[in-house]
Structure 1
Amino acid sequence: MLVKDFKLDPNQLTPDARLEDLGLDSLGMADLVFHIEDAFKLSVPDVAVTLTTLGEVVGFIDDLIMARDSAQALPAPSAPPEMLPLSPGQAT
């Protein structure tokens, strides 16, 4: 994504590469967030997060994917019996 969409040299893309050194300013980071959401089918929370290296971005994406997958794996909460809909003809 960074090579294709941001025209970065793949040799620069190491975990400790500073985003600022890669030329990703705040506008570039906003654009990157949109790309991440689309590519990974994620919803990035609208909270201030400070990411300074490419490794931190990767860790952030991994955390979002794990949170999403964990939430999808949880069974749906069941309603208490008094909250369940009545069948036709069932007395109240």
Structure 2
Amino acid sequence: MADDVKTKVIEILAEQAVLEPGDIAMDQTLEDLGIDSLGLVESIFAIEEAFDISVPFNANDPQAGDFDISSVAAIIGAVEGLVAAQKG
């Protein structure tokens, strides 16, 4: 399941960044990928829809939420945590 989450999150971010999924590294930031605040919000919506989860994210203050957007790996980890909590 974790690989499925990783693959799907990378696909969503790649689509927003207009990159191939293989071009995305785990340590890259959204800024590295060229994803701006609007792209981030669209990515969050896509992640929520793909995994049927609710992401605790405040678009007006991205640092205020519990959803870590500091890197691709952090986003994947946060999504995995939300998916696991939903199933638990």
TM-score scaled by length of structure 2? 0.67
Tell me which amino acid in the other structure corresponds to 1:55: A
TM-score scaled by length of structure 1? 0.65
Q: Which consecutive unaligned segments of at least 5 residues does structure 1 have?
A: 71-92
Q: CA RMSD in A?
A: 1.7
Q: 1:45 aligns to what?
A: 56
The count of corresponding residues between Structure 1 and Structure 2 is 69
TM-superposed deviation, 1:28: 1.2
Tell me which amino acid in the other structure corresponds to 2:39: G
Q: Which consecutive unaligned segments of at least 5 residues does structure 2 have?
A: 1-11, 59-64
TM-superposed deviation, 1:18: 1.4
TM-superposed deviation, 1:2: 2.8
CA contact (8 A) 2:30 2:36 kept: yes
Which one has the largest radius of gyration? 1
Distance 2:24 2:84 in 1: 23
